[in-house]
Structure 1
Amino acid sequence: MISDRWDRYAQARSPRRLVNAAGASTWFNWTQYPDHGPGLEVLDLDDGSRVLDLGCGKGGNLAHVCASGYHGIGVDVSAPQLAHARTRWPGLPVHHRDAVSYLLDGEESFDAVYSVFGALWFVDPEVLLPAIHHRLRGVLAFSWSPMKPIPGLPRWDLEPGEWRERLEKHGYEDIECQVIDPPAGAESDQCTFFVRATRAGGRMPRSTREHAR
């Protein structure tokens, strides 16, 4: 089973550091490099926003979402990963589910959905993108890197142009595709691909919302 493979992968992964370089106990990381790349601001959140983490893993990014005052929910297929998240951050709202079934089983909307090396990389986008669209009001953002495959796990290593086509096909707009280079002095030269889009006809951008007030 795919969940078993994720469990084995999770056991081999080191947990997130207790604090980052700035001394913070929670922080957001879109890349595989510590303290590098954009942060939570790319989700364009308002006070009280509802945010969904697809493939939350050990919960580091989700913990930062919740600590920042937003209503975060995490979904992951690996029970050991979620057990770690609940131990480190008691009360963290995480669910042992696969991304598609979680999305299709509910109706309540989310202001933002994100995935960091998670479900957007490992689930068929022809199935997952419509399922996200069903629950999304605002921003979808995700990141991945061209690392070596994980044995037994399918992966969608699409080029940025291919992602743009899939997103447009399934009702997304304002699509941004970026390549984030590794930081200076990094041991690896692997870049990180980052994609951000909005649901067509969803929430207006924050700058427009603030101007309208």
Structure 2
Amino acid sequence: MPGTWDQYAQDCAPRRPVNAAGASTWFNWTQYPDHGPGLEVLDLKPSARVLELGCGKGGNLAHVRAMGHNGVGVDVSPVQVDHARTRWPHLNVILGDAVAYLEGAKTQFDAVYSVFGAVWFVDPEVLLPAIHRRLRGTLAFSWSPMNMVSALPRWDLEFDEWGDRLDEHGFVDIEHREVTPPASAGRGQPTFLVRATRPN
């Protein structure tokens, strides 16, 4: 699997130095630049502990850190992790498997998120219980029906299927939304966003 993600990393352009608003860090849940909701989805209190599963080249995690939160990113691709560490050397980025990291971690996180990342590519019957044990707040993740890294198994579940899985594993306040592509994308694909919490 890391080899597939390494190839994806090499094929995927790095994040721009600044966005349309001139910011050097920003948060994207969708595949379109400067589009859709941002970090507010996670409902973070100041100095929150935040975990990204499948952090890729670190763009979203850099924004989490820039907003004053304590972010940790995990990714299975050495190429992705090396890129993140090179561009943002202050980030806490770990090379490893999402489930293995969660099962070995001693930290409780205020939020866990995944943008086209591990929640889409790891069996939810394994990953969701591991997240639940380490979470004390919000879980949010996004995915899209676009043909991305098609060599890997994906859990392209419907919203109600995700709701059933999340409910089964102890999550509450389950919400979902479809983020339509911007007009500039023409016949672009929507992004699906799910949010839930772990009760205290």
Alpha-carbon RMSD: 0.9
State the partner residue of 2:114.
115
SS in 2 for 1:52: strand
1:165-199 deviation digits (Å, cap 9, x = unpaired): 00000000100011110011214420000000001
SS at 2:184's partner residue? coil
How does the TM-score come out when normalised to structure 1?
A: 0.92
For the residues of structure 2 that align with 1:30 and 1:185, how far apart are their CA atoms? 17
Q: Secondary structure at the match of 1:102?
A: helix
Q: How far apart are 1:149 and its partner, in Å?
A: 4.8
Alignment-mate amino acid for residue 58 of structure 2: G
What do residues 52-88 of structure 1 show as CA deviations (whole Å, max 9, x unaligned)? Answer: 0000000000000001000000000001011111111
**Shift in Å, 1:107:** 2.3
Task: Give the distance between the partners of 2:103 and 2:89, measured in 1 at CA.
Answer: 27
Residue 149 of structure 1 contacts residue 155 of structure 1 at CA under 8 Å; is this kept in 2? no
- Distance in 2 between residues matched to 1:107 and 1:197, nearest whole Å: 22
For normalisation by structure 2, the TM-score amounts to 0.98
User: In the alignment, does 2:195 pair up with 1:196?
Assistant: yes
In structure 2, what is the equivalent of residue 176 of structure 1? 175
Alignment correspondent of 1:16: 15
Equivalent residue, structure 1, for 2:49: 50
Q: Which amino acid aligns with 2:106?
A: E
| Per-residue deviation, 1:108 | 1.3
* 2:85 counterpart SS class: helix
> 1:89-128 to 2 correspondence within 5 Å?
89-128=88-127
Q: State the alpha-carbon separation in 1 of the partners of residues 8 and 47 from structure 2.
A: 34
Unmatched 5+ stretches in structure 1: 203-213
Aligned residues: 200
Structure with the greater alpha carbon radius of gyration: 1
Q: Give 4+ residue runs of structure 1 displaced > 6 Å after superposition.
A: none
CA contact under 8 A between 1:76 and 1:98: conserved in structure 2?
A: yes
Aligned to 1:140: 139
Contact kept in structure 2, 1:112 and 1:137, CA below 8 Å: yes
Q: CA 1:108–1:168 in structure 2 vs 1: closer, same or farther (change >3 Å)?
A: same
Aligned equivalents of 1:4 and 1:122: distance in 2? 15
Partner-residue secondary structure (3-state), 2:132: helix
| Distance in 1 of aligned mates of 2:84 and 2:140 | 22
Gap runs ≥5 in structure 2: none
Say if 2:26 is the partner of 1:27.
yes
Cα deviation 1:16-45 (Å, max 9, x = unaligned): 010000000000000001101111011111
Q: What is residue 77 of structure 2 aligned with on the other side?
A: 78
Q: State the SS of the aligned residue for 1:185.
A: helix
